[in-house]
Structure 1
């Protein structure tokens, strides 16, 4: 059902464009439409440097035996129309499985 509808829509669109003798770009311009492109992901982490790197002492084992023993932080960057928005998070892990948001 959907394939038949899609095929008919495409045929009608092609016929309309041919009848008006305009290109898709010209029709979009007249209607005030613009295409949106998605930027390719670019990795920004440079792991090839001579700067000191701390050891991974947790090794993904976040079990703490006393409060304030294990801390975690994260910064997330979100693109907006006005620029980049940064979101900062910090958590404290403790033995009794409660998380305290810092």
Structure 2
């Protein structure tokens, strides 16, 4: 489905989200961040993988802190607390299984 089929949604100061593709089994989402913006600590029942397309990010995943840059990726198990802080403006590509119905 073309990107323009899904709206760009502001998710907080300096952050946006856009669904790229989805079905009932999984979802692919682009998140953009301005330098200094944050993805608040949270957890959800979905398994998540994140690919750093651009920028630099400090990720918290459970008790871990990771500094990630373009080309890096990580997975996050269901119900694990995680979040990030953007060190250099960029984009994350996240996949979720099952689909995040709250994003539709």
Establish whether TM, by shorter chain, passes 0.5. Answer: no
Compute the TM-score of the two structures, normalised by the length of structure 1: 0.22
> Which structure is higher in helix share?
1
Higher relative contact order (CA 8 A, sep 6+): 2
> Which structure is higher in strand share?
2
User: Is the radius of gyration larger for structure 1 or structure 2?
Assistant: 1
